[in-house]
Amino acid sequence: MRYVQLRAFHHVAVHGGFSRAAEMLHLTQPAVSDQVRKLEEEYEVILFNRRKKQVSLTATGKRLLEVTHRFFEVETQALELLSESRALSAGSLRIVADSAMHLLHILQPFQARHPRVRVSVRAGNSQEVIEALYSYETDVGVLGEIPDSRDFQAVRLSTTPLIAFAAASAAPQRPLTLRELARHPLVLREPGSKTRQKLEQAARERGLELKAAIEAEGREAIREIVASGAGIGFVSQAEFGHDPRLVAIPIAGEDLTMDEALICLRERAGGKLVSAFMEMAARLSGEGVTRR
């Protein structure tokens, strides 16, 4: 097995095709195809299903990709170590967050300290954050809990209670229990949302079922639907913000909180950009880095 063969396989798998991999490697497509073919022939395995112009990983290919992700991440960290001054003055940091507002106190100081680092932030629920980290599609993530897994390092960003909210024109004027809330039309996040999972777990413990009158993806969609008067939504108090169209409703008799956390894969925590961002988050949030 040669390095160039493993590299060719990795880029085809990550970029979804031989042509795109060839572009990224500055090689011709036949050269990349030949390297992957030789790797398959040498070990008598099939790494890709090839159907017309589309390729997909076989079961063996998926397992090998898990290894090459780690292999090339270590290579990246080695390069960063050897060129430390450049690592923090260039490059890019990718973030997937279930709510970007929890990053606001970190982004500006980080950008001020590392002005040439390009930071990209995209939205995703808790399940999507975890999947993006495992697939190396993001460098760090923000989600509504500290994962109970040794695969991650985490910084707690905030702990706030869950609340319900409704349109100001139709909002109850007092706190409501989960049993009372269950009688109203509910506007709930998609099943991968940690907010929804916590609410449903609490309801099950009370022998209740929370049925969604409307299910929507993302907090902004929930906010607009609730503001129209279509039902009651749920959010962490820190994310409720100020909107004159909406009224917060405390959930009576429950101790439901969200621990917003910044997390990264443990095996990627040594990368200079990831490490710098995590350490700044820990310092600004007054929390240490959690290593399970």
Burial of 128 (0-12, 13-18, 19+ CB in 10 A): buried
Is residue 246 within 8 Å of 255, Cβ to Cβ? no
In tens digits, what is the pLDDT along the chain, a chain of 292 residues? Answer: 788 899 999 999 999 899 989 998 888 999 999 999 999 999 999 999 988 778 899 999 999 999 999 888 888 777 766 665 555 666 889 999 987 888 888 999 999 988 888 999 998 888 889 999 988 889 999 987 788 888 999 999 988 899 999 999 888 889 999 999 999 999 998 887 888 989 999 999 999 999 999 999 888 899 999 999 999 999 988 888 889 999 999 999 988 998 889 999 988 888 888 999 999 999 998 766 666 5
pTM of the model: 0.58
Give the residue carrying structure tokens 């790494």.
47
Q: Are 68 and 9 in contact (CB under 8 A)?
A: yes
CA 263 to chain centre: 9
pLDDT of residue 84: 58
Which domains are assigned to the chain? Answer: 3-81 (1.10.10.10), 83-292 (3.40.190.290)
